[in-house]
Copies of this chain bind each other. A is one copy, B any other.
Amino acid sequence: MECRHETRIRVRYAETDQMGIVYHANYLVWFEVGRAEFMRARGLPYPELSAQGLELPVIEASCRYRAPARYDDQLTVATALDLLRSTRLRFRYEVYRGQKLLATGTTEHAFVNRQGRPVNLAKKKPELWRQLERLLGTPAGEGKP
């Protein structure tokens, strides 16, 4: 993974379940933390996108669980941009405890306006689109689909 951003997460008691491991849905929440920090690190924090009338609801999510995370673990969430199109983008994630890979996943997001309508960013908000292209560091459409 090149151009990825790493975020540290400490597992909360609330995130465990009675199997003694982290409940699987929480990885999607960690992915959210990962991409928020990825965007912030690139100068495009979510609240600013939102202030510009752009929301990025999740339209697809997936996760493969290889080994369980446990209470109090210190994890690293590595986030990378996987795809950038004028109507959507996709991130991919790897969750590590030390060197051990615990999980991998992806989330795909639509570009929508405040009313929740899909927008073609290149057409409707060309300035923001160029900023995204430039800051996210991949020419549009170069991600591996």
A interface residues (Cβ-Cβ under 8 A, vs B): 10, 12-14, 16-21, 23-26, 28-29, 32-33, 36, 45-47, 55, 57-66, 68, 70-72, 107, 116
Q: Say yes or no: B68 contacts A46, CB within 8 Å.
A: no
Count chain B CB atoms within 10 A of each CB in A16, A26, A45, A63 and give the residue with the most: A63
Q: Tell me what chain A mostly uses at the interface: helix, strand, loop, or mixed.
A: mixed
Residues of B within 8 A of A64 (CB): 59-60
**Least CB distance, A106 to chain B, in whole angstroms:** 9
Show 17 residue pairs from A and B whose CB-CB distance is below 8 angstroms, ordered by the A residue: A10-B33, A13-B17, A13-B18, A14-B29, A16-B17, A16-B18, A18-B18, A18-B21, A21-B57, A24-B58, A25-B25, A46-B71, A47-B72, A60-B62, A60-B65, A62-B62, A62-B63
Q: Say yes or no: B61 contacts A33, CB within 8 Å.
A: no
Q: Out of B12, B60, B66, which one reaches A33, CB within 8 Å?
A: B12
